[in-house]
A and B are shown apart, each in its own frame.
Chain A
Amino acid sequence: MKKGELITALGFIIISIVTLREAFRLGFGWVEQQGPAAGFTLFWLGLLMLLCSVMILVIGLRKKDDGEPFFVNKQGLWEAVRIFFTAALLTVGIIYTGIYWATLGYCILFTRWLGKHRWRTVILFSVVMTVAVYFGMEKGLQLPLPKSFLYKRGLFPF
């Protein structure tokens, strides 16, 4: 757990430094006829976050490793990675194919790869899910969602 704690603290230190740099760029003092400059709040927040993150880092460095792993076990780590990876693929898929085709692909990938369901269940669930999203969002709630190039060329309803 110690390594994870230190890396995260370092991440927050970097965010604080970026915030402070921005505050310096914008100015954080008093501007006549205007009041506090645009970087005023950023400066104090960045400073406070930097102090706290450094404290967490120092405490983390001085503390003995509790031996507790960051991830529950290897299988758990792999599962978390796969959930994030498939969600990232879904995001990229939405950009290139629209939400409905991406939903279909994501459902197939997830239910087969992570859920280990039979192909029959995989296909049935994925198609039902895509159709439900289309009729629920596009038709029912009239909420327009990103669509594919096929739709843009008038070849498919989504």
Chain B
Amino acid sequence: METLAHLMTGFGVALQPLSLLMMTLGLLLGLAVGVLPGLGGTAGVALLLPVTVLVPPTVAIIFLAAIYWGALYGGVITSVLFAIPGEPWSVALIFDGYPMAKKGQAGLALAAAFLSSFVGIFVAAIFFVAFAMPLALFALKFGPPEMFGIMLLAFSTFVGLGRGSATKTLVSTCFGLILTMVGLDIVTGHPRLTFGTMAFLSGFHFVPVTIGLFGLGEIMIDGEERFSTEIKEVIHAKLGWQDIKAGFKATKEHFGLTFFSAVLGFFVGILPGTGATPASFLGYGIAKQYSKHPEKYGQGAIEGVLAPQAAANAAGTGALLPMISLGIPGSPTAAVLLAGLYMWGLWPGPRLFIEQPVFVWGLIASLFLSGMVCLLICLLGTPMLASIMRVPWGLLTPTIVIACFIGSYVMRNLMFDVWCTLIFGLVGYVMKKLDYPLAPLAVALVLGGMTERFLRQSLIIGDGSFSVFFSTTISTVFMSIAFFLFLLPAVKLVRDKIKAGNKIAEA
């Protein structure tokens, strides 16, 4: 009952004219970001982070979160119509969305994808409301060792559950953590890794580095690949009333699958380091595996559109839960949102629910509203959104690059930050080409300072003994899971080698 009262307060905030205006603006920008292949949701949120100093924090978080939802929706259009994923989480949608469009069912595929996105966000928002407060209250019992355990858990999920090389993930994480240590030491005040230069004393700010990694780096890759990727048959976007009705009917018919995918996506999204992309593939894979007619998948099955989209959007919502309740971002975009919170002087976690209830519940209420407004915008404005793709590359790219540089400069009014964006653009380009994951680097950049502080505080409490991390049940559980996840790739490697050895022996 108390939760419901809080939620009503949140709706009161989210329904204010300024909040609604910024939410709609954020959704439109997010949709544009989702449609454009050269700019991701993370870079979009990072780019607009400095702008939020002009509005109150509650409106600012609603605006940034709206960009995030918009980007989640935006990838649908390019995936279905052009078979080009605007965002990585839209890849699974191509498998059946594009064949449907080729069969002349583009409108139905779009309507179904938008409606399932809405179901995904709505179901996840309900779960969010149910879990946010208990999780935050549970976290009230956490001291520095528990908090360090949870930080370690966040990094370990990238290593244990990530799809790429574990060593590269570790390098990426360490690199991000080392970058956060450039500047003055938080405890002793000693300059670290500054090499006697004044510029390094202020350290690396999260935003210019993220804009470089995810913005400029992505633009370079996009520029390089534009000669090798050919746009497949372009299908023009038409979304009539008949399509919307058919979309409703399809979603209703497969509501069980859509709902299940949303629940699955939500829980995948909660895990730090996973996010919407694996959720969408998992949603698609499970839907296909348990389908009565799996042979239809890949040929234009409507279930192949509903399941990944509901899962991806629910995961996007789920990724915000650990961020707001515990201060751990579930995805790189959530990490940028977290950086925004710090920028406005707010500390996520249990105290935020007590000290800033309007902020927290305003954001939660905006989850429901954003889902609805975005659905309306998409259903009405798809042809216009698809036309963004037709803006010439030669005009779009310089616009994005200038936005990247201005976004980094205005954070601290330092040219050093502009140089950071440029250099990290190159770093991001090389790392992405060599499959070094960028998400752990981004998360490490946000959590690095806190992780070090909790580690050192814990060691001081334990008088230098590492046993402090196993002194309470909660921290023991966190540390054990974290170590298990860190060791998981090695266990998998040994298991595969034994299996391969057995096969040779059998042969």
A interface with B by C-beta (< 8 Å): 1, 4-5, 8, 12, 15-16, 18-19, 22, 26, 30, 34-42, 45-46, 48-49, 52-53, 55-56, 59, 70-73, 75-77, 79-80, 82-84, 86-88, 90-91, 94-95, 99, 103, 106-107, 110-111, 114-117, 121, 125, 129, 133, 137, 141, 143-146
What are the residues of chain B within 8 A of A90 when measuring CB–CB?
A: 401-402, 405
The answer for the CA separation of A115 and B396 in the assembled complex, in Å, is 10
Q: A38-B185, A52-B171, A94-B415 are in contact. Are A133 and B406 (CB under 8 A)?
A: yes
Closest to B394 in A: A115
Closest to A59 in B: B167
Q: A71-B224, A73-B228 are in contact. Are A45 and B178 (CB under 8 A)?
A: yes
- Interface assignment of B162: CB less than 8 Å from any CB of chain A: no
CB distance from A37 to the nearest CB of B (A): 8
- Interface assignment of B256: CB less than 8 Å from any CB of chain A: no
What are the residues of chain A within 8 A of B225 when measuring CB–CB?
A: 72, 76
- Interface assignment of B460: CB less than 8 Å from any CB of chain A: yes
Q: A12-B171, A34-B187, A129-B402 are in contact. Are A115 and B459 (CB under 8 A)?
A: no
- Interface assignment of B193: CB less than 8 Å from any CB of chain A: yes
Residue contact B193 to A19, C-beta cutoff 8 Å:
yes
- Interface assignment of B422: CB less than 8 Å from any CB of chain A: yes
Residue contact A83 to B220, C-beta cutoff 8 Å:
yes
**Interface Cβ pair total, 8 Å cutoff:** 179
The answer for the CA separation of A5 and B190 in the assembled complex, in Å, is 35
Classify the secondary structure of B's interface with A: helix
Residue contact B410 to A145, C-beta cutoff 8 Å:
yes
Residue contact B220 to A84, C-beta cutoff 8 Å:
yes
- Interface assignment of B505: CB less than 8 Å from any CB of chain A: no
The answer for the CA separation of A137 and B219 in the assembled complex, in Å, is 23
What are the residues of chain B within 8 A of A38 when measuring CB–CB?
A: 185, 187-188, 190, 192
Residue contact B426 to A84, C-beta cutoff 8 Å:
yes
Residue contact A94 to B426, C-beta cutoff 8 Å:
no
Closest to B184 in A: A38
- By Cβ-Cβ distance, the 4 closest A-B pairs, closest first, are A115-B394, A49-B174, A76-B224, A35-B460
The answer for the CA separation of A59 and B166 in the assembled complex, in Å, is 13
What are the residues of chain B within 8 A of A15 when measuring CB–CB?
A: 175, 178
Classify the secondary structure of A's interface with B: helix
Q: A52-B174, A73-B227, A99-B409 are in contact. Are A129 and B167 (CB under 8 A)?
A: no
What are the residues of chain A within 8 A of B397 when measuring CB–CB?
A: 83, 110, 114-115
Interchain CB contact (< 8 A) of A125 among B185, B224, B226, B395: B395
Residue contact B193 to A88, C-beta cutoff 8 Å:
no
Residue contact B410 to A91, C-beta cutoff 8 Å:
no
- Interface assignment of B425: CB less than 8 Å from any CB of chain A: yes
- Interface assignment of B398: CB less than 8 Å from any CB of chain A: yes
Residue contact B168 to A4, C-beta cutoff 8 Å:
no
Residue contact B410 to A48, C-beta cutoff 8 Å:
no
Closest to B456 in A: A36
Q: Mark B138-151, 1 if CB is under 8 A from A, else 0.
A: 00000000000000
- Report 30 cross-chain contacts, Cβ distance below 8 Å, ordered by A residue: A1-B434, A8-B431, A8-B434, A18-B193, A35-B460, A36-B456, A36-B464, A42-B181, A42-B193, A49-B174, A52-B168, A72-B227, A73-B227, A76-B227, A76-B228, A79-B226, A83-B219, A84-B220, A84-B429, A86-B401, A91-B419, A94-B405, A94-B415, A99-B405, A106-B401, A107-B402, A110-B394, A111-B398, A115-B394, A143-B50
CB distance from A119 to the nearest CB of B (A): 13
Residue contact A41 to B452, C-beta cutoff 8 Å:
yes
Residue contact A87 to B216, C-beta cutoff 8 Å:
yes
Interchain CB contact (< 8 A) of A41 among B54, B392, B422, B456: B456
Residue contact B167 to A115, C-beta cutoff 8 Å:
no
